[in-house]
């Protein structure tokens, strides 16, 4: 009977995978936009003023890299890294230097298995140049892109070839972890991460982010199996009305159990994305010589510093549910 139950569940999940096409973009649109938005509030003045003026564009553009995946050659590889391809101890095997990694593995191999850590450092370097050139439009574009790749690097399933549970009969787990759970529980996460700090070694910060994601992969998969065993088979999936369409998705009961078993993991990776992004924005500005945002060639007359200060104070004093790290 148990074997039959598991067989039926596998069929349901495979069908679910085709009914709801898997989106390779990490976190989902809501989460990507939220990460970019909340990173702004971690910036110190006067950098905060400039980013706050353009916070709507930073939110909107947070998903642009996903939109480019199918239009720009090589873009898809910028969102993940299959660390398991490099053996049981990948961080002992992979050079963090791109040039050395190319020598060791070839560029084709690296592109095939993902290059998100290197992509982050490249965009960061471009952001420094944009700050130096006081090119406000490019600063916003690169800052939004950087937020997307940083967020991707914080998703455990973006660091394994088993990115959607297809190798362990857990089809659909990618969207479950990075989209469904944040959309259900993200409003309770404490996304005020404190003020940004200067990063002495960006390369170390980026690879530590990836290491944290890699370390969580086994738990992501194991706890989904435990939750599946704990929730009756007919309660794992549900049909919800989204707009005018009915959508098959993971039930609230199942998500509650899975989220409980993960014990704050999604929130920690979510807030880690915000903190890392704010630190990188701030550090790029510092490395560029701290140019005055008033000189950036993008209009800053939408709001005054006084009105922005009032909003910042309101947010900092608000009581946001959730625990801190």
**Is position 213 within any domain?**
yes
**Is position 325 within any domain?**
no
Residues 39-45, mean pLDDT to the nearest whole number: 97
**Is position 324 within any domain?**
no
E strand segments, the chain = 237-242, 245-250
Per residue in 88-121, pLDDT tens?
A: 999 999 999 999 999 999 999 999 999 999 999 9
**Is position 311 within any domain?**
yes
Q: Give the pTM.
A: 0.85
**Is position 296 within any domain?**
yes
Question: Are the CB atoms for 121 and 29 separated by under 8 Å?
Answer: no
Burial class, 133, CB count within 10 angstroms (exposed 0-12 / middle 13-18 / buried 19+): middle
What percent of the chain shows pLDDT beyond 90?
80
Residue 241, strand partner residues: 246
Q: For residue 244, what pLDDT is reported?
A: 86
Complete DSSP assignment for 9-24: HHHHHHHHHHHSPPP-
Cis peptide before 210 (omega within 30 of 0): no
Give the side-chain half-sphere CA count within 13 A for 53. Answer: 21
Burial class, 11, CB count within 10 angstroms (exposed 0-12 / middle 13-18 / buried 19+): exposed
Q: Is the pLDDT of residue 322 over 60?
A: no
Q: Is the pLDDT of residue 6 over 90?
A: no
Phi and psi (nearest 5°) for 166?
Answer: -70, -20
CATH of the domain at 122: 1.10.575.10
Residues 153-180, mean pLDDT to the nearest whole number: 98
Residues 240-251, mean pLDDT to the nearest whole number: 91
**Is position 270 within any domain?**
yes
Q: What is d(CA 218, CA 215) in angstroms, rounded to the nearest whole number?
A: 7
Q: For residue 12, what pLDDT is reported?
A: 45
Written as six digits, the tokens of 322 are: 């959730």
Q: For residue 26, what pLDDT is reported?
A: 62
Q: Is the pLDDT of residue 27 over 60?
A: yes
Q: 25: pLDDT confidence band, cut at 50, 70 and 90?
A: low
Residues 17-27, mean pLDDT to the nearest whole number: 45
**Is position 246 within any domain?**
yes
Q: For residue 13, what pLDDT is reported?
A: 44
Q: 19: pLDDT confidence band, cut at 50, 70 and 90?
A: very low
Per residue in 180-217, pLDDT tens?
A: 999 999 999 999 999 999 999 999 999 999 999 999 99
Question: Are the CB atoms for 24 and 178 separated by under 8 Å?
Answer: no
Q: For residue 2, what pLDDT is reported?
A: 37
How many Cβ atoms from other residues are within 10 Å of residue 267's Cβ?
23
Per residue in 272-317, pLDDT tens?
A: 999 999 999 999 999 999 999 998 977 544 444 444 444 444 444 4
Ranking 42-51, 127-136, 262-271, 297-306 by mean pLDDT, the lowest is 297-306
Q: What is d(CA 268, CA 2) in angstroms, rounded to the nearest whole number?
A: 35
CA angle 100, 105, 111 (to 5 degrees): 100
**Is position 322 within any domain?**
no
Domain that holds residue 54: 2-317
Residues 6 or more apart whose Cβ sits within 8 Å of residue 217: 156, 157, 159, 160, 162
Give me the number of domains the chain comprises: 1
Complete DSSP assignment for 86-109: G-SSHHHHS-SSHHHHHHHH-HHH
Phi and psi (nearest 5°) for 188?
Answer: -90, -5
């Amino acid at each position: 009977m148990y074997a039959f139950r598991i067989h039926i569940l596998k069929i349901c999940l495979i069908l679910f995978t085709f009914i709801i096409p898997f989106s390779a973009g990490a976190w989902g649109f809501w989460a990507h936009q939220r990460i970019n938005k909340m990173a702004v509030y971690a910036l110190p003045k006067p950098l905060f003023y400039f980013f706050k003026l353009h916070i709507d564009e930073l939110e909107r553009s947070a998903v642009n890299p996903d939109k480019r995946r199918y239009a720009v050659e090589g873009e898809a590889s910028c969102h993940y890294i299959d660390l398991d391809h490099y053996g049981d101890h990948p961080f002992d095997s992979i050079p963090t230097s791109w040039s050395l990694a190319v020598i060791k593995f070839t560029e084709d191999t690296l592109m095939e298995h993902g290059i998100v850590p290197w992509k982050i450092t490249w965009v960061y370097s471009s952001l420094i140049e944009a700050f130096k050139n006081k090119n406000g439009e490019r600063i916003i574009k690169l800052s939004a892109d950087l937020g997307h790749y940083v967020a991707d690097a914080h998703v455990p399933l973006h660091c394994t070839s088993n990115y959607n549970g297809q190798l362990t009969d857990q089809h659909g787990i990618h969207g479950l972890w990075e989209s469904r759970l944040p959309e259900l529980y993200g409003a309770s996460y404490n996304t005020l991460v404190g003020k940004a700090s200067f990063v002495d070694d960006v390369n170390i910060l980026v690879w530590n982010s990836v290491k944290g994601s890699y370390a969580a992969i086994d738990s992501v998969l194991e706890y989904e199996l435990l939750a599946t065993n704990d929730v009756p088979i007919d309660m794992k999936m549900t049909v919800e009305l989204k707009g005018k369409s009915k959508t098959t998705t993971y039930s609230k009961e199942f998500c509650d159990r899975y989220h409980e078993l993960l014990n704050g993991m999604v929130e920690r990776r979510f807030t880690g994305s915000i903190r890392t992004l704010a630190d990188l924005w701030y550090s790029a500005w510092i490395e560029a010589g701290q140019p005055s945002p008033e000189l950036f060639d993008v209009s800053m007359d939408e709001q005054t510093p006084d009105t922005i200060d009032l909003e910042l104070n309101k947010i900092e004093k608000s009581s946001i549910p959730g625990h801190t790290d």
